[in-house]
Amino acid sequence: MSYQLYYSSGACSMAVHIVLEELGAPTRLMPLRIHDGDTSKPGYLAINPKGRVPALAIPGEAGVLTELPAILTFLAESHDTPALLPPTALQRGRVQEWLAWLAGWMHGTGYGLIWRPHRFSADPDDVPALREQGLKVVAQANQDVTERLAQPGPWALGDQYSVVDPFLLVLFRWGSLVGLDMSEHTAWIEHTRCMLQRPAVNRVLEREEVTIPL
């Protein structure tokens, strides 16, 4: 029996893909192309009515598990791998703190305003202002991430690698995609370089045909 991961290349689902690869968990990959509307098609909506990625089908479970923080937490706790799951309650709380902020504020609000402005206003005239606001949110969040990674680093939890770090890799790449200057984020660059030294990360990048600009 294996997991089934519904994902789109370079999307936030790449963080789940990396974690599954780190775990060596048997996984059937189910690629979708967001820009081709795959996540809005009836076939996928029957699997995940939210129409988003990632979605994880778990052996023995009737429905898929959705929402990135939930999936990352499930995988870390189910496999109880020291390399991904901090040993103390406080550190696990820090993982949830990171995931909630990254998913809710940086991804959902910041990049939502940039890439999905229609979620915030039905008026097309509002789009430029919404996208500009999104860029401001992301730029400030990028600075916040960099400051947190610098005290201490290189990982989100200092010297403890966790499920937060693959998500940070995705968000670093996105910063360049929306035209923000990532060269000033020294600690985040170091984090990214450390990520690129991990064999599991490189296997996923090759599989998804994704490059990380440095």
Calpha distance 81→143 (Å, rounded): 30
**In CATH, 3-79 is 3.20.190.10:** no
Residue 28's SS3 state is strand
What the block records as the tokens of 46 is 């029957």
Calpha distance 196→202 (Å, rounded): 6
Q: What is the pLDDT of residue 97?
A: 98
Q: What is the pLDDT of residue 85?
A: 84
Q: What is the pLDDT of residue 63?
A: 94
Calpha distance 139→143 (Å, rounded): 6
pLDDT tens for residues 8-28? 999 999 999 999 999 999 999
- Comparing CA positions, the residue from 50, 76, 112 lying closest to residue 32 is 50
Mean of the pLDDT values across residues 117-131? 96
Calpha distance 193→214 (Å, rounded): 8
pLDDT tens for residues 172-186? 999 999 999 999 999
Q: Report the share of the chain in percent with pLDDT over 70.
A: 100
What the block records as the tokens of 28 is 């059937």
Q: What is the pLDDT of residue 205?
A: 99
pLDDT tens for residues 129-175? 999 999 999 999 999 999 999 998 899 999 999 999 999 999 999 99
- Comparing CA positions, the residue from 21, 14, 68 lying closest to residue 211 is 14
Q: What is the pLDDT of residue 81?
A: 79
Q: What is the pLDDT of residue 42?
A: 98
Q: What is the pLDDT of residue 143?
A: 98
Residue 185, amino acid? H
3-7, 34-38, 80-84: range with lowest mean pLDDT: 80-84
Q: Report the share of the chain in percent with pLDDT over 90.
A: 93
Q: What is the pLDDT of residue 195?
A: 99
Strands across the sheet containing 55-57:
27-32, 3-8, 55-57, 65-66
For the entire predicted model, the pTM comes to: 0.96
Q: Could you state, in order of their start, the residue ranges of all structural domains in the chain?
A: 3-79, 89-197
What the block records as the tokens of 183 is 């060269």
**In CATH, 89-197 is 1.20.1050.10:** yes
pLDDT beyond 80 at 80: no
| Helical ranges in 102-177 per DSSP H | 112-115, 127-149, 164-177
